[in-house]
Amino acid sequence: MKWIRVAAIVFLVAISSACLLADFVAPATYEQQFRDVPDAAPSNHHLLGTDDLGRDRFSRLLYGTRVSLLLAPAAALLSSLLAALIGGAAGFIGGWLEACVMAATDLFLSLPWLFLLITVRAFLPLNVSPIASVTITFALLGCLGWAAAARVVCADARALCASDIVLLARATGCSGLRLLCRHIVPNLKPVLYAQFWISIPVFILTEANLGMLGLGVAEPLPSWGSLLRELESFSALSLQPCQFAPLVLLVVTVSCFHLAMQKQELLA
């Protein structure tokens, strides 16, 4: 099954390159309106047609993919760093700190993910600029998604502290920060990488859910969540299969992430 994994990675690289080069590849900007052709069918000028405001769907798909594909890994990086910091410290120091961190992770893991997200999202202002909304959405994902990863990191750090290598290092006089930097953190890297990679598809899907509920990235900035909202206006009378393009791309991309990270999923 190695070739499937390679194909998935190739697809992810291709789609990431295309969206990074959106400024050159896209025929229009994401907010440019072609007011004489709203709801247009696919043509040579508009490969996926236009939406009800006359914006080019292909361009919006490229820019939306860029937002989701760049910021979901950024949120995953933030949550992995938080997990490393909180879980690593708890596992390394142990005692009351570990008990407190475990209680906090218990609390976070007991709260249903979407309930927690919309509660904290509602705490922040809703009528903000598109850039602020995109920052808030992905920062929230990063800040609230650390709990499960921290639990794994804490357990691993605890196991490492009791391992022979750390015992030997302690016996040779290595302690404190040096022990942490030279022996604990490098050995936690594989788990942290795994947590980082498995968080990406989770955050992509969560952003899509938030976007469809109107609590994600604000218009006119596109993201997969806001692009999928167009499905709400889908009707059998004005059948436009191109409205499903963001959904197809989302499903294929998330599938590719799952396929490319089978090893990481096993490790996590």
Partner 1 sequence: MQPRDPGDSFTMRRIGKHAARILVVLLLGGFLGATLVRLAPGFGVDEEELDSRLSQDSIQALRQSPAVETSLPAFYLHYLLQLLHGDLGTSQTLRLPVRQLLAERFPETLKSVALGLSAGWTFGLALAMLAAMSRVGWVGLGAFLLASVLLCIPAAVLAMLFVIAQAPGRLVIGLIVFPKIFHYAHSLLARSACLPHVLTARAKGLGSTRVLLWHVLPVAAPQLLALAGVSVSLAFAAAIPVEVLCDLPGIGQLAWKAALGRDLELLVNLTMIVTLITLMANSAADLAAQPVREGEA
**How many of the chain's residues bind partner 1 (CB under 8 A)?**
38
Q: Is 118 in the site for partner 1 (CB under 8 A)?
A: yes
Q: Which residue has the tokens 């006089």?
A: 173
Query: Which are the contacts of 61, defined by CB distance < 8 A and separation ≥ 6?
Result: 48, 222, 227, 245, 246, 249
Q: Shortest Cβ distance from residue 70 to partner 1 (Å)?
A: 19
Q: Is 213 in the site for partner 1 (CB under 8 A)?
A: yes
d(CA 104, CA 111) in angstroms, rounded, equals 11
Among 205, 220, 264, 267, binds partner 1 (CB under 8 A): 205
Query: Which are the contacts of 230, defined by CB distance < 8 A and separation ≥ 6?
Result: 51, 52, 243, 246
Q: Which is nearer to partner 1, 96 or 123 (CB)?
A: 123
Q: Shortest Cβ distance from residue 157 to partner 1 (Å)?
A: 23
Q: What is the largest CA-CA distance in the chain?
A: 77
Q: Is 107 in the site for partner 1 (CB under 8 A)?
A: yes
Q: Is 254 in the site for partner 1 (CB under 8 A)?
A: yes
d(CA 184, CA 145) in angstroms, rounded, equals 23
Q: Is 114 in the site for partner 1 (CB under 8 A)?
A: yes
Q: Is 248 in the site for partner 1 (CB under 8 A)?
A: no
**Strand-pair partners of 33:** 55
Among 66, 121, 151, 183, binds partner 1 (CB under 8 A): 121
Kind plus residue range of the DSSP H or E element containing 268:
none
Q: Is 160 in the site for partner 1 (CB under 8 A)?
A: no
Q: Shortest Cβ distance from residue 253 to partner 1 (Å)?
A: 8
Q: Cα dist. 137→74, 90, 93, 145, 224 in Å? A: 12, 28, 33, 12, 13
Q: Cα dist. 228→190, 196, 223, 261 in Å? A: 34, 25, 8, 25
Q: Shortest Cβ distance from residue 79 to partner 1 (Å)?
A: 17
Binding site for partner 1 (CB under 8 A): 103-104, 106-107, 110-116, 118-123, 125-126, 201, 205-206, 208-209, 212-215, 228, 231-232, 234, 247, 250-251, 254-255, 258
